[in-house]
Amino acid sequence: MSMTKKSTAELQLNCIMIENLVRSLTIKGISNNEDLVAAVDTAFHPENEWEMEMYSDAILYAKYSVLN
């Protein structure tokens, strides 16, 4: 297993892209947390717990920004 470390800029860009993906899916009616997490895992492949936490925050932020 490769243990490459992503730069802060790459993580920030990924979070922006995740927010766009989640907003799009939520608008299409997919708002189940498990489905959103699966879509993000498939597209972005988080490599460690810190990345997963960052991506989870991006998912929640995007989902609730659409629903509110």
pLDDT digits (tens, 9 = 90+) for 5-45: 788 899 999 999 999 999 999 999 998 999 999 999 999 99
* pLDDT value of position 5: 72
What is the SS3 string spanning 22-63?
HHHHHHCCCCCHHHHHHHHHHHHCCCCHHHHHHHHHHHHHHH
pLDDT at 4: 61
Looking at residue 28, the DSSP 8-state letter turns out to be T
Q: Which residue has the higher pLDDT, 3 or 31?
A: 31
pTM for this predicted structure? 0.87
Q: What is the pLDDT of residue 6?
A: 80
